[in-house]
Amino acid sequence: MTQKTKRDFINVQNLTKEEIQYLFDLTVKLKKNRDQYAQVLKGKSVALIFQKPSNRTRVSFEVGIWQLGGNCIYLGPEEINLGKRESAADVAKTLSRYVDAIVARTFTHQDVIDLAKEASVPVINGLSDLSHPCQALADLFTINEKLNEAKGVTLAYVGDGNNVCNSLIFGCAISGVNIKIATPKGYEPNTAFIKSAQRFSDMSGAAITVTNKPQEAVENADVIYADTWVSMGQEAESKKRFKDFKGFQIDSKLASRAKKNYFFMHCLPAHREQEVTADIIDGPHSIIFDQAENRMHIQKAILVFLLGDMK
């Protein structure tokens, strides 16, 4: 699959079902045969604009770009200071003169959109307040690996209707994965998103359900998924959130409602004894580090997809 014009990766729903399958097939090849792709980004540079801290996203992109033969430039909050020192438009136009792609981790999703609109090179969303598409693709790829096929699987997402949840909703809806979301009242994912994702699930046959009862979501699930209760930028709300999320911790009692051989997933960073107990996240059902590893492989596929064959 070659890109004739510049293409961005802002949200999972920017990809068709066929493109997601293409990325998964390519990821399998990239994982198996790293050397074959060692020159794909030769002579190319990618800028990483990060307004928030990161372990997985930064390191997996940096190492992945290096493994593809490319060069990576990390620009932390103190360098670019997006929207304060310089507008997103000026940053995008300037960087487009130097680099071949931009990975952006921002607070507001609008910043990623503005960068993509003004950049003449592909922009990849490395997490915004609205979505985390690289994470969702890595997660679905991991489910495929573990369960042979993701279609028909039921994933229970328990916690905050946040960026990770939003991307999982669309990823699951497109891929035919049933997603059952349990959040406290007031933390449900945006209803407009659910409505929009429903269009994809109607085609794939997946079901999207939202409840305020974690037990209901986890019942007979193949996968239990958790994320932090306090996302980056929400630290001031910590106290209220800890109170509101009481009863939403994944512990052995809750997990016992899932299928016997369920998998536990978490995008990380995790907070043991908050959203999940240590016996679950460090126990035999947990596949959190496979997820983390697959971030790199899927992102390499995204880079090859967006940049590899561009002339």
Toward ligand NVA, which CB reaches closer, 218 or 226?
226
Residue nearest to ligand NVA (CB): 231
163 binds ligand NVA (CB under 6 A): yes
Using CB under 6 A as the binding rule, whether residue 266 contacts ligand CP is answered as no
Q: What string marks each residue from 225 to 254 as x (binds ligand NVA by CB under 6 A) or -?
A: --xx--xx----------------------
| C-alpha distances in Å from residue 11, one per residue of 73, 129, 135, 150, 193 | 23, 12, 11, 19, 12
User: For ligand CP, which residue of 11, 27, 57, 162 counts as binding (CB under 6 A)?
Assistant: 57
85 catalytically annotated: no
Task: Kindly identify the residues of this chain, within the stretch 112-151, that bind ligand CP according to CB under 6 A.
Answer: 127, 135
Catalytic site includes residue 111 = no
55 near ligand CP (CB under 6 A): yes
Omega before 269 within 30 of 0, i.e. cis: yes
Mark 181-219 as b/e (b = at least 16 C-beta within 10 Å).
bbbbeebbbeeebbeebeebbeebebebebebebeebbe
- Alpha carbons 133 and 50: distance in angstroms, whole number: 16
Closer residue to ligand NVA (CB): 90 or 273: 273
Interface with ligand CP, residue 63, by CB under 6 A:
no
- Strands of the sheet containing 154-158, edge to edge, are 208-211, 178-182, 154-158, 223-226, 263-266
**Any catalytic annotation for residue 105?**
yes
**Of 56, 58, 227, 299, which one is the catalytic site residue?**
227
Q: Is the dihedral of CA 305, 14, 136, 71 positive or negative?
A: positive
Tell me which stretch binds ligand CP (CB under 6 A): 150-158, 178-186, 197-205, 261-269: 261-269
Q: Give the type of residue at 29.
A: K
In whole angstroms, the minimum distance from the beta carbon of 86 to ligand NVA comes to 24
The dihedral of CA 61, 13, 234, 50: what is its sign? positive
Candidate residues 26, 91, 267, 280; the one interacting with ligand CP per rule CB under 6 A: 267
Whether 295 is catalytic is yes
Q: Point out the residues that are catalytic.
A: 105, 132, 135, 227, 267, 295
Binding site for ligand NVA (CB under 6 A): 127, 162-164, 227-228, 231-232, 267
